[in-house]
Amino acid sequence: KAPEAHLYLAKQMWEEANHCQAFEYVLETFPLDKEKIYQQHLITPSIKAKEDWISNFLAKMDERLDIETIEGKRDFVRNLVAYNIVMEGIWFYSGFMVALSFRQRKQLRNFGSMIDWVLRDESLHLKFGINLILTILEENPEIVDEGFGEEIKNIIITGVEMETAYNKDMFPRGILGLNADYVNQYVRYVADRRLEELGFEPHFHDTNPAKWMASATDTLELVNFFESQNTSYEVNARANKENKDEGEKEVV
């Protein structure tokens, strides 16, 4: 019910709409069988399983959810863990690593720049979700017990298992230095970081196979303006204002 949370969620919805538009542009631009691509969530079992799984959590987030009850509060936390931690904090990061690995090889550089923008938004969505979950648990200690904690941990582990199956379908064979084992090791590494952020012990104990991703997830990045465009909203907003001011001067 916090007004600041409502305001941030409105901003997040706007950002997600931008992401959808960006990825739709990519799908429409790349030389792909578009009909086949858009049907994948129906015909590929691992994709459909992920869609059905997350939909089951989202279906409970309607007007019937009573967050005044202990079970209602737990359902709310379950949804946050599934959506913010698993989907945005693990599944999306798996995709980000795959996409940005091409840029590491000097390929699809503009696509990589687009991913930078999406990644910066999603990293904030993830941090918001983590902070919201921890705040709810702190303010409602009655919902926390050993059984509920184990349930939350199992939601994350299940999410990893589903992403593992998906990556095996996506990479039946290796391509350009990528294979399912490499990507799934990164998934397990990221999942352990998410568990730690929620106060759990690591579960998988994998090392990071893509250490270069640490720089990609840094929210403040300095770039050479003669070579690239800075993905910081603050810098770009200031640049747009300066361009507007210059245009007004020319008119005068």
DSSP state of 175: B
Instruction: Give backbone dihedrals phi and psi of 178, rounded to 5 degrees, phi first.
Output: -110, 140
Is 77 within 8 Å of 133 (Cβ atoms)? Answer: yes
The CA-based dihedral angle spanning residues 29, 33, 37, 38, taken in that order and rounded to the nearest 10 degrees: 80
Instruction: Give backbone dihedrals phi and psi of 65, rounded to 5 degrees, phi first.
Output: -70, 120
Instruction: Please give the single-letter amino acid code of residue 21.
Output: Q
DSSP assignment of 137-172 equals HHH-GGG--HHHHHHHHHHHHHHHHHHHHHHHHH-S
* 205: helix, strand or coil: coil
* 55: helix, strand or coil: helix
220 CB-near residues (< 8 Å, 6+ apart): 232
Handedness of CA 47, 49, 53, 55 (dihedral sign): positive
Per-residue pLDDT for the chain (252 aa), expressed as one digit of tens each? 688 888 998 999 999 999 999 999 999 999 989 999 999 999 999 999 999 999 999 988 876 888 889 999 999 999 999 999 999 999 999 999 999 999 988 899 999 999 999 999 999 999 999 999 999 999 999 999 989 999 999 999 999 999 999 999 999 998 888 999 999 999 999 999 999 999 999 999 999 999 999 877 654 444 443 444 555 544 444 545 555 555 554 444
- Report, as residue numbers or ranges, the catalytic residues: 25
Report d(CA 60, CA 87) in Å as an integer. Answer: 16
Using one digit for the tens of pLDDT, what is the confidence trace for 22-48?
A: 999 999 999 989 999 999 999 999 999
Report d(CA 144, CA 138) in Å as an integer. Answer: 9
